[in-house]
Amino acid sequence: MHVKPWQACAAAAFTLVALASSASADEPEHDYANQTPYGTPKAKVKAAPDGYEMFFLETVGRHGARSLTSDDTEQDALKIWRRASEQGGLTERGKKFAIDLAEFQEAERTIGYGRLSGVGQEEWQGIGQRHGETYGDFFDALDNREESIAAVTTNVTRTKQSAEAMQEGLAKAGLDLETELAPLTQAEDMMHFRNKASDAGEAMTDEILARDELRDYAEDVLRTIYVPEFIPSIKDPLEAALDIHKLYSTAPGMAKETDITFERYVPEDAREPLSYATDVETFYQYGPGVEGETNTIDNARPLLADFFKALDDRIAGSTTAVVYRFAHGETTMPFAALIEAPGSEEQTAEGERFTRGNNPWRGAVAGRLAGNIEWSAYRNDDGKVLVTMRYNETPVQFNDGCSPDDEDAKYFYTVDELKSCLG
Contact, 139 vs 132, CB < 8 A?
Answer: yes
pLDDT tens profile 236-271: 999 999 999 999 999 999 999 999 999 999 999 999
> Are 234 and 223 part of one and the same domain?
yes
By percentage, how much of the chain surpasses pLDDT 70? 93
Give the domain extent around 229: 72-113+199-270
DSSP state of 23: S
> Are 172 and 244 part of one and the same domain?
no
Question: Is residue 240 in a domain?
Answer: yes
Question: Is residue 278 in a domain?
Answer: no
DSSP state of 147: -
Question: Is residue 217 in a domain?
Answer: yes
Last residue of a domain, one of 270, 299, 333: 270
pLDDT tens profile 350-362: 999 999 999 999 9
Question: Is residue 77 in a domain?
Answer: yes
Q: If we measure between CA atoms, which residue out of 394, 396, 366 comes closest to residue 35?
A: 366
Q: If we measure between CA atoms, which residue out of 41, 36, 34, 35 comes closest to residue 19?
A: 41
Q: Up-side HSE of residue 415: CA atoms within 13 Å toward CB?
A: 20
Segment 284-291 mean pLDDT: 97
The number of folded domains in the chain is: 2
Pairing, β 372-379 against β 394-396: unpaired
> Are 300 and 169 part of one and the same domain?
yes
Angle between helix 97-111 and helix 72-86 axes, rounded to 10 deg = 160
Give the residue, 16 or 155, on which the prediction is more confident. 155
> Across the chain, what does the average pLDDT equal?
92
> Are 362 and 324 part of one and the same domain?
yes
CATH number assigned to the domain comprising residue 58: 3.40.50.1240
Question: Is residue 276 in a domain?
Answer: no
Q: If we measure between CA atoms, which residue out of 11, 13, 7, 41 comes closest to residue 25?
A: 41
> What is the pLDDT at residue 174?
92
Listing DSSP states for 213-278 in one string gives HHHHHHHHHHTTTB-TTTGGG-S-HHHHHHHHHHHHHHGGGGTTT-----GGGS-HHHHHHHHHHH
The b-or-e profile of 140-179 (16+ CB within 10 A means b, else e) is eebeeeebbbbbbbbebebbbbbbbbbbebbbebebebee
> What is the pLDDT at residue 338?
97
Q: How far apart are CA 247 and CA 250, in angstroms?
A: 5
Q: Is the pLDDT of residue 16 over 60?
A: no
Question: Is residue 275 in a domain?
Answer: no
Question: Is residue 284 in a domain?
Answer: no
> Are 55 and 9 part of one and the same domain?
yes
pTM of the predicted structure, to 2 decimals: 0.93
Segment 91-106 mean pLDDT: 98
Last residue of a domain, one of 214, 235, 270: 270
> What is the pLDDT at residue 21?
42
Q: Is the pLDDT of residue 2 over 80?
A: no
Q: If we measure between CA atoms, which residue out of 57, 139, 141, 149 comes closest to residue 372?
A: 57
> Are 208 and 175 part of one and the same domain?
no
Contact, 202 vs 352, CB < 8 A?
Answer: no
> What is the pLDDT at residue 112?
98
> Are 51 and 76 part of one and the same domain?
no
> Are 98 and 139 part of one and the same domain?
no
Q: Is the pLDDT of residue 291 over 70?
A: yes
Question: Is residue 155 in a domain?
Answer: yes
Least confident of 28-32, 54-58, 156-160, 399-403: 28-32
pLDDT tens profile 360-403: 999 999 999 999 999 999 999 999 999 999 999 999 999 999 99
Q: Is the pLDDT of residue 409 over 70?
A: yes
> What is the pLDDT at residue 51?
97
> What is the pLDDT at residue 423?
78
Q: Is the pLDDT of residue 212 over 70?
A: yes
> Are 237 and 376 part of one and the same domain?
no
> Are 358 and 373 part of one and the same domain?
yes
> Are 187 and 242 part of one and the same domain?
no
Last residue of a domain, one of 243, 270, 297: 270
> Are 49 and 124 part of one and the same domain?
yes
> What is the pLDDT at residue 144?
78
